[in-house]
Amino acid sequence: MAKLFGIVLVLVLAVPSVGLVTVATIMSPAITSCTVSNLLIGTIPESLTTRTRDGHTVTLNRQQLTHAASIITVGAQTPGVGRAGVLVALMAGLTESTLRMLANSATYPESMTYPNDGDGSDHDSLGIFQMRPAAGWGGVADLMDSIYQARAFYGGPSGPNGGSPRGLLDLAGWQSLDPGVAAQSVEVSAYPDRYQNYQPVAEAILQGLTRAPSTAGDGGGVLVPETTRVVFPLTANSYTDTSSYGWRTDPFTGKRTFHEGSDLAAPGWTPILAIADGVVTFTGHRGGYGNLIILEHTVGGERVASYYAHMWDDGVHVAVGSTVAAGQHIADVGSSGRSSGAHLHLEIHPGGEASPSVNAVEWLAEHGAEGLTGAGVVPAGCIASKG
């Protein structure tokens, strides 16, 4: 893997604002493990200022901290990573790109068409971790996605590369290594000693961005951090929008009923993605929904609940209490409950579970959901008011 030949130790990508968060240098040479409950993202500040191990001041802007939040969230929901693995990933991202999504116009001109934080020039490397398509890390579209890059860095059974190239979880005994050595073992850099210098910065990010889960005073639910992005729950070209939200004739009873969800017809076992970072508050069988997942999110400062219904029994991949990242594969399309065929019944409840639902597709469009595409209208696959 070709690497950056130099690192700018003073970041001036953001001018500290009134909301500046300054975090003192934290030294922690050994890797320790923590539960994922300590990896919930709190409010992302406008900037964060701290120091590297050799004493240079580093200021990170909100975009860089948002990338850090994505790395933390993916680590929180990947078994075996924990706080120790997230620390390693942050050290690697800081060293390779200063936590910026870098395109590479010289080698991959198309990379400039994806959201990016600048144009890199390190051979054919891309993204936050400066991964190379030629080395097998993924295609250009993959590597210009922060969630994909984080999953690739962590590797393991749920990683996209099947252990080649090796991610952190593919390294036997990585927990016993110095964090900098662990980062180098994944990145295979020509400059292996650089990573330790950023350990205090990575520790400061973890201290500044994460918070333990707590209980809300009113509704008794979990206080969920602001999401880092919003995505459509099915990938482009894998579904047909039935436009079924609202009043309609129930095919079973022939009566006029109000359908609270949006139906997205798709082949069985099509992956279902979380629409935003959040916490799983319910999984199980519930009436006409069949198998149901409920996630709680915070979007634009507002509590939002999302419902995903009709999966088969073995099509649910999350458990109550776990945190999920936007775009995470949480389930597979099925046809349980009151359903006439394989599809996803999706509900969005701004205000939380106790609040009325809205047209899910329209809400996602209004919130700029990644991956939303136009589709034709077909007869609804979901056939009940709560189905």
User: What does the DSSP assignment read for 312-344?
Assistant: -GGGB---TT-EE-TT-EEEE-B--SSBSSSEE
- Does residue 217 fall inside a structural domain? no
- Check which CATH number belongs to the domain holding 318 and give it: 2.70.70.10
* Burial (Cβ within 10 Å: 0-12, 13-18, ≥19) of residue 206: buried
Do residue 56 and residue 191 come from a single domain?
yes
- Does residue 174 fall inside a structural domain? yes
Q: Please count the structural domains in the chain.
A: 2
**pLDDT tens digits, one per residue of 75-102:** 988 888 888 899 999 999 999 999 999 9
Do residue 314 and residue 206 come from a single domain?
no
Do residue 43 and residue 175 come from a single domain?
yes
- Does residue 235 fall inside a structural domain? no
Do residue 258 and residue 162 come from a single domain?
no
The token duo for 290 is: 């069949």
Do residue 41 and residue 170 come from a single domain?
yes
Domain hosting residue 114, numbered range:
21-211
Tens digit of each residue's pLDDT, the chain (387 residues): 433 333 333 333 333 332 333 222 222 333 333 335 567 787 788 999 999 998 899 999 999 999 999 999 899 888 888 888 999 999 999 999 999 999 999 999 999 999 999 998 778 999 999 999 999 999 999 999 999 999 999 999 989 999 999 999 999 989 888 999 999 999 998 777 899 999 999 999 998 888 655 434 333 455 688 888 999 999 988 888 876 788 888 777 888 888 889 999 999 999 999 999 998 889 999 988 999 999 999 998 889 999 999 999 999 998 888 888 889 899 999 999 988 899 999 999 998 887 889 999 999 999 999 988 654 333 333 333 334
Do residue 262 and residue 202 come from a single domain?
no
Do residue 62 and residue 175 come from a single domain?
yes
Do residue 277 and residue 146 come from a single domain?
no
- Does residue 106 fall inside a structural domain? yes
* Burial (Cβ within 10 Å: 0-12, 13-18, ≥19) of residue 213: middle
Do residue 207 and residue 244 come from a single domain?
no
Given 161, 196, 211, which residue is the final one in a domain?
211
- Does residue 222 fall inside a structural domain? no
Do residue 192 and residue 69 come from a single domain?
yes
The pLDDT mean for the chain works out to 82
- Does residue 372 fall inside a structural domain? no
For the full predicted model, state whether its pTM sits above 0.75: no
Compute φ and ψ for 87, nearest 5 degrees.
-60, -45
Given 211, 229, 255, which residue is the final one in a domain?
211
Do residue 67 and residue 165 come from a single domain?
yes
- Does residue 379 fall inside a structural domain? no
Do residue 34 and residue 182 come from a single domain?
yes
Q: Are 265 and 381 in contact (CB under 8 A)?
A: yes
- Does residue 387 fall inside a structural domain? no
Can you tell me the distance from the alpha carbon of 77 to that of 39, in angstroms, rounded to the nearest whole number?
A: 9
Can you tell me the distance from the alpha carbon of 348 to that of 358, in angstroms, rounded to the nearest whole number?
A: 6
**Nearest by Cα to 22 from 74, 56, 57, 54:** 57
User: Cis omega before residue 165 (within 30°)?
Assistant: yes
